[in-house]
Amino acid sequence: MPNRDEKILVVGACGQIGVELTLQLRKIYGEGTVIASDLREEHQLLKGTGPYVSLDILNKETFHVLVLRYNITQVYLLAALLSATAEKNPLLAWNINMQSLLNVLDVAKEENLKKVYWPSSIAVFGPSSPKENTPQHTVIEPSTIYGITKFAGERWCEYYFNRYKVDVRSLRYPGLISYKSQPGGGTTDYAVEIFHDAVRHNHYTSFLNAGTFLPMMYMPDAIRATVELMQADASKIKVRSSYNIGAMSFSPAGIADEIKKHLPEFVIDYKKDNRQQIADSWPRSIDDSEAKNDWGWQPEYDLARMTADMLQNLKKGI
Ligand code: NAD
Ligand code: SER
């Protein structure tokens, strides 16, 4: 049962995940309980749904004051630079992705916060990891700066849990597909753009090759996974770095075939760019059996169900 005494701060609430996660947390815990924050202006879909504050999470003092002022008990940290944007400025990505996490973990330790959520990514895996059904525990040698920050972040989470008992929990999200808010500069963004372009123009030019398989997930599953992980009894959380979670795996050609079942005129062509190299370094599919065994993870959306839902919702908006 949700505890009504919680006060939750979502950092990076105006991004692709933040908008939907904030709305869901407000549904569960009550709108006044969930404070949304971001560098950006408040997202249109958040307006009127609960409190919003402007916050640069790199400013530890401001963040600390906010935690005290609002009696925050849980922090969901979503601020980050994603894979493609991070490659354009590796040192900036390192600074944002690491310092944000260290600020949150350290204030969580100092103020004895009940829980922290921070997402990792399938990007922790690199070219030397097994490509198919990539296990929870395997060779992890990321070749992208984004993956390096996620791997380092996972080690910090485990360290703060073991050393200071900070109850920090994490998921290695696959590429996330959603229609409510736009993706923020990742390599898996093609799988969102393709739906928008299909509905508007019946045509999409993919920046990844036809046969590039990647692990993917529909946003409702990602939000549910996050909430279920955070609500699970602490004794069930055996992985304190970050859990593999999976739902589906497809390529640009595969998703195009599925879209054609609904839009027979749809045409895809291919013009790869530098994101191909990033995608080639990542797994093709993920083994999430530890998340399933430990806290009961089960995805609900496969490619067919997600495609039908995406197209139905995007058509409504036209
Ligand atoms: P996003 O880029 O859409 O959103 C990030 C938000 O953080 C933005 O609104 C941005 O304004 C905000 N932000 C950036 N710097 C900030 C700062 N200094 N202070 C406060 N806010 C700041 O990203 P997303 O897709 O919502 O991803 C959220 C988290 O999930 C990230 O850690 C990302 O690595 C992880 N993740 C996302 C995916 C995906 O497919 N979307 C997959 C795996 C992991
Ligand atoms: N979807 C993310 C990206 O492509 C993976 O973490 O960057």
- Ligand 2 contacts (CB < 6 A) are 82-83, 121, 123, 146, 175, 186-188
Known catalytic residues are: 146
Distance 312 CA to ligand 2 centre (A): 25
Q: What is the pTM of this model?
A: 0.97
In a domain, 234, yes or no: no
Residue 288 CB less than 6 A away from ligand 1: no
What is the pLDDT at residue 172?
A: 98
> Is residue 273 one of the residues assigned to a domain?
no
Ligand 2 centroid distance, CA of 150 (Å): 11
Taking only the tens place, the pLDDT of each residue in 3-40 is 668 999 999 999 999 999 999 999 999 999 999 999 99
101 within some domain: yes
> Does residue 270 form part of some domain?
no
Q: For the segment 45-63, what is each residue's pLDDT rounded down to a tens digit?
A: 999 999 999 999 999 999 9
In a domain, 150, yes or no: yes
pLDDT of the residue at 1? 52
For residue 121, what are the CA distances in angstroms to 2, 158, 166, 201? Answer: 27, 15, 21, 31
> Which residue among 17, 221, 282 is best mutated to probe the pocket of ligand 1, counting the most ligand atoms within 8 A of its Cβ?
17
The predicted model gives 105-122 an average pLDDT of: 98
Q: What is the best residue among 17, 187, 207, 281 to mutate for testing ligand 2's pocket, by most ligand atoms within 8 Å of CB?
A: 187
Residue 264 pLDDT > 60: yes
Of the chain, the percentage scoring pLDDT greater than 90 comes to: 97
Instruction: Indicate which ligand has the atom closest to the C-alpha of 22.
Output: 1
Pair 142, 129: CB distance under 8 Å:
no
Domain range for 104: 8-124+139-173
pLDDT digits (tens, 9 = 90+) for 116-161: 999 999 999 999 999 999 999 999 999 999 999 999 999 999 999 9
Q: How far apart are CA 295 and CA 279, in angstroms?
A: 29
* More confident of the two residues 2 and 301: 301
CA–CA dist 95, 149 (Å, integer): 9
pLDDT value, residue 2: 55
Mean per-residue pLDDT, 237-242: 98
**Number of structural domains found in the chain:** 1
Q: What is the mean pLDDT of the chain?
A: 97
State whether the beta carbon of 39 lies less than 6 angstroms from ligand 1. Answer: yes
Domain with residue 116: its CATH number is 3.40.50.720
